[in-house]
Amino acid sequence: MAQRPKTPQQKHRPTVPEAERDLLRISGLSAVTALVERDPARVSRLFMDERTAKKATALCAKLAEGHKPYRTLDGEELTKLAGTPMHGGILALAKPRTVASFDAHAAKDWAKEGKSIMVLDGVGNPHNLGAIARTLAFFGIERLLLSDHPGQAQPSDAAYRIAEGGLEWLEIIKAERFPLPLKRLKEAGFFVIGTALEAGSKPLAEVLGWARKRPIAFVLGNEETGLPKHSQAECDALAVIPGSGHVQSLNVAATAAIVAFLAAQGNPRRF
C-alpha cells in the first residue's frame, strides 16, 4: 500500500533525536533563564515561539557563545515538543543535573555553616516538589534532601516548570537508607523537626524555639499518608501548624512555605 504523502506541516514537525530522548524538557521563561544563567552547558537545544523570542535575545546570545542551537516554532509545534500546552512559549532540552548522595561528613560542614535544610520523605507530586523548590530558593535555603521513599518525586519536566527556576539554585541530595540520614543530621548538629499530625506534635512556633540557634532540618512527608513513623522516631521534635480546624491540613507545599518563613523570621542567619 502506498504511503500518504506528508503535509508541509508534518515535514517540518520538530523531532527529538534518539540521543536526546532522556533529556529534561524545561519550559517557562523563568525556568529557562535560570538554567542558561546557572549552567548553560546542560542545554542541548532551545525552542521558542516568536513572541517569547523577543524576550529571550540575551539567552540566545549566551547559547550562541557555546554553539548551542536555538530556533522559533509555532505554538502547536512547541506544544507537541514540550508535551504540554503549559510551556510559556519557550522550551529547553537539557541534561539532568547530577544528584549527589548524602554524606555524613558533608553534613557536619553544613551544620558549621549554620544554615537550615529541607528534607522530603515521600512527597510524590512533582508539582509540589517544584513549588517547594521555588519557596526554598526564594528564602535562600540552599539544600534539599530527597529520601529513598518509593513514592518520592524526583526533579522532572513538571517540577522544573513549577519551580520557576528554583531548582537551579538548590543542591539536590539523594538520601538513602532512610531514616538513617536523619540520625546522621542530628549527630552533625542539626535540630530535626518533622511536620506531622500526631497527638504529641507541638505548635511550630514553639518547636522552633527549642532549636536554640542550631541549624534546622525540616522533614516533610507524603501528601496522603504523612511522615512515616520510622522517620518521626528520628526527629528531635514533631510540629504542627495550628489552624481553624475547618480542614485537616495544608498542602505540603504550603506547609513548606510557612515553615521556611517562620524559621527565617526567627533567625535569618539560618538561611
24 with 136, same domain? no
Residues 66, 183 within the same domain:
no
- Residues 6 or more apart whose CB falls under 8 angstroms from that of 215 comprise 110, 111, 113, 114, 115, 116, 117, 189, 190, 191, 270
pLDDT at 201: 92
Residue 198 has what pLDDT? 82
Among the candidates 94, 128, 146, a domain finishes at 94
Q: Do 69 and 189 belong to one domain?
A: no
Cell reading at 7? 503535509
CA distance 228 to 120: 11
Tell whether 144 and 214 lie within a shared domain: yes
pTM, two decimal places = 0.89
Residue 1 domain-assigned (yes or no): no
pLDDT computed for residue 266 by the predictor: 58
Domain of 73, CATH number, reads 3.30.1330.30
Q: Contact at 8 Å (CB) between 44 and 95? A: yes
DSSP assignment letter at 169 = G
What pLDDT sits at residue 117?
Answer: 95
- The CA-atom distances, in angstroms, between 44 and each of 26, 89, 162 are 11, 17, 21
Please give the Cα distance from 61 to 65 (Å, whole number).
6
pLDDT at 7: 46
Q: Does 257 fall in a domain?
A: yes
Last residue of a domain, one of 94, 114, 140: 94
Evaluate whether residue 62 is within a structural domain: yes
For the chain, residues with pLDDT lower than 50 are 1-4, 6-13, 268-271
Cβ proximity of 111 and 141 under 8 Å: no
CA–CA separation, 206 vs 197, rounded Å?
Answer: 15
User: Which residue in 148, 86, 147, 156 sits closest to 127, CA to CA?
Assistant: 156
Residue 11 lies in a domain: no
In whole angstroms, give the CA distance from residue 87 to residue 81.
Answer: 10
114 shares a domain with 62: no
CB 142 within 8 A of CB 166: no
Q: What's the rounded Cα separation, in Å, for the pair 220 and 193?
A: 9
Structural domain count, the chain = 2
**d(C-alpha 123, C-alpha 86), whole Å:** 22
Are 68 and 148 part of one and the same domain?
no
The pLDDT assigned to 17 comes to: 61
| CATH number of the domain that residue 120 is part of | 3.40.1280.10
Residue-range definition of the domain harbouring residue 154: 100-270
Instruction: State residue 1's pLDDT score.
Output: 45
- Picking from 66, 94, 122, the residue at the C-terminal end of a domain is 94
Q: For the packed helices 29-38 and 57-65, what is the interaxial angle rounded to 10 degrees?
A: 30
Considering Cα of 146, then 147, then 152, then 154, what sign does the dihedral take? positive
In the chain, the N- to C-terminal Cα span, in Å, equals 67
- 37 domain residue, yes or no: yes
Looking at the fold, whether 121 and 141 belong to one and the same domain comes out as yes
Whether residue 171 sits in one domain with residue 225: yes
In a domain? residue 150: yes
